[in-house]
Structures are given as structure tokens and as C-alpha cells.
Amino acid sequence: MTSDHRGQVEELLADYRRTRDHLASVQRDLAGITASETSPDGTVTATVGTGGVLTELVLADNAYRAHRPSQLAELIVRTTEAAAAKAAERTYRTLAPVLPADTDPAALVRGTADLTADEITPPVPPKRRAPEDEDFALRDSWMDDLGRTR
């Protein structure tokens, strides 16, 4: 191998190492993403990690008195969704610098970056045929069936 080629190989390897180190750094940043949100009334605080997974839920002491169970459950869901949206936005901002300029980070995370709308839309399930009605008029009473099994 000539010294020219050796120099090119060394440069390519150095570029590869820099890129790999940068990607490892981005991966660490992605793994460390968290976001918290507190409900408007302050009774619920939700913290999510990577992928919007709920990692902590704090309910104020008065949360059970301030809300009926179904209202509290809905407030927890809404607050967790808001925290997940913040985490998703942080994920997109972390990914954007390492993606090609025309790549949508949100679509990439959703797994739809290279799919068309037709490919994303779920297929319409086939209509199920209703079972034919059984003609119970021709059968003995179910009460008679009980007597036969004894």
C-alpha cells in the first residue's frame, strides 16, 4: 500500500471514529431524556423517561379530596401525555443534528420516516359475516335439555 493510500485509510478510520463517538454521545443523550409536567391545579406531577414511559407519579395530599376517582385518573393521563410530549420534543431536538437535513425526526421516531401515507394507514378489516340465526323454534326447550343431562 502506498503512503497516499495509507493516509486516506487513516483519514477514513479517523472519520469513522469521530462519527461513532458522536453517535454514542447522541445515544447517551437520548437515554437520559426525561420530562415532567404538573397539572394546572398542582395535584398531579408526572415524570417520563425515554419513549414517554412513566417513571414517577406524584399526587398531592389533597388530590383524592379535590377530584373524584375518574377525574383524577383522567388528570393523571392528561398530565402524563403532556410530559411525554415534552420528552418527545427533546428527543427530536437531540436527533435533528445527526440526521440528514430532509429527515423528520418525529417521523423517524414513530418509524414512519420512509413510508407513504398509504403504507401507514391501517387496512380496513374485512366485514365479518353475522352467523346465521339458529332456528330455535325447531329445538326443544333448553329446559328440556337440562333434564336430559341428568
Running along the chain, 150 residues long, what does each successive block of 10 average in pLDDT? 82 89 86 95 96 95 95 97 95 87 84 75 76 58 58
Q: Give the pLDDT score at 34.
A: 95
Give the count of beta carbons closer than 10 Å to the beta carbon of residue 75: 20
In this structure, the chain runs to a length of 150
The answer to pTM > 0.85 is no
The CATH homologous superfamily for domain 7-120 is Nucleoid-associated protein YbaB-like domain (3.30.1310.10)
